[in-house]
Amino acid sequence: MDARKARVLDYGFIELVDFMGGDARIVEAARICYRSDGGDDAALIRRLVTRGHNTPIKHAVMTWRVKCPLFVARQWLRHRMGTFNEQSLRYCAARREYYLPRGVPLIDEYVAAMEAAFDTYEALCAAGWKKERARGVLGTAVYTEFIWTVNAWSFINWLRKRLAAGAQYEHRCYARAAGELWRAAMPLTADAVLGDGLAAGD
């Protein structure tokens, strides 16, 4: 995988498809208020982040592409920031692809249940059920894919919440990967938010 894409969990990934503005735009937007030019960009960005002066930060915008289990996608959309377009199981048949946790008991029973659900799904579709209704038997461990456009400030809010110790492990894996990809694109802002490291461990 290249510098803008990271594999996450067993079949998932997160990719920084595009970004606009970056650190430089944030600095420019902050300075338009004051007609000032000089000064230390890193210190200015740190002040904006620390004090929650979020408007300049919102001029930096990113587009991400994500493949993740549906239960992670559901949490993600609940943040309600930015624009999402998700693969639709109304129009597309579901692929037999689901998340398999590691190091847990009863994994065979889990797999059997997921496979049985897909068998039923396919039988229902074959019997004439609409896909939009048949999907009701598929568990939320099924993978989905979406594209997410978000400004840097909303991204930071998502990142902080999903890096926190209380966040669900699977979501935290995406947040960690996103944080590293983001750092390559917007190093000054990422340092101001994340410091030297990302939250470690489970």
Distance CA 181, CA 177 (A): 6
As a whole number of angstroms, the longest Cα–Cα distance in the chain is: 69
User: Which tokens in the block code for residue 51?
Assistant: 């004090």
Nearest alpha carbon to residue 96 among 78, 111, 79: 111
Using CB under 8 A as the binding rule, the residues of this chain from 175 to 194 that contact a copy of itself are none
Determine, following the binding rule CB under 8 A, whether residue 199 of this chain makes contact with a copy of itself: no
Using CB under 8 A as the binding rule, the residues of this chain from 40 to 69 that contact a copy of itself are 55-56, 58-59, 61, 63, 69
Determine, following the binding rule CB under 8 A, whether residue 11 of this chain makes contact with a copy of itself: no
Stretch binding a copy of itself (CB under 8 A), from 5-13, 40-48, 117-125, 181-189: 117-125
Interface residue with a copy of itself among 117, 173, 178, 192 (CB under 8 A) is: 117
Nearest alpha carbon to residue 141 among 96, 175, 183: 96
User: Which tokens in the block code for residue 156?
Assistant: 């930071």
- Residue 31 designated active-site: no
The answer to whether the Cα torsion of 161, 163, 167, 170 is positive or negative is positive
Residue 64's H or E segment, with its range, is strand 61-69
Residues at the contact surface with a copy of itself, assessed by CB under 8 A: 18-21, 25, 28-30, 32-35, 55-56, 58-59, 61, 63, 69-71, 74, 77-78, 80, 83-88, 90-92, 98-99, 101, 104-106, 109-110, 112-114, 116-117, 120, 123-124, 127-129, 132-133, 135-141, 145-147, 149, 151, 168-170
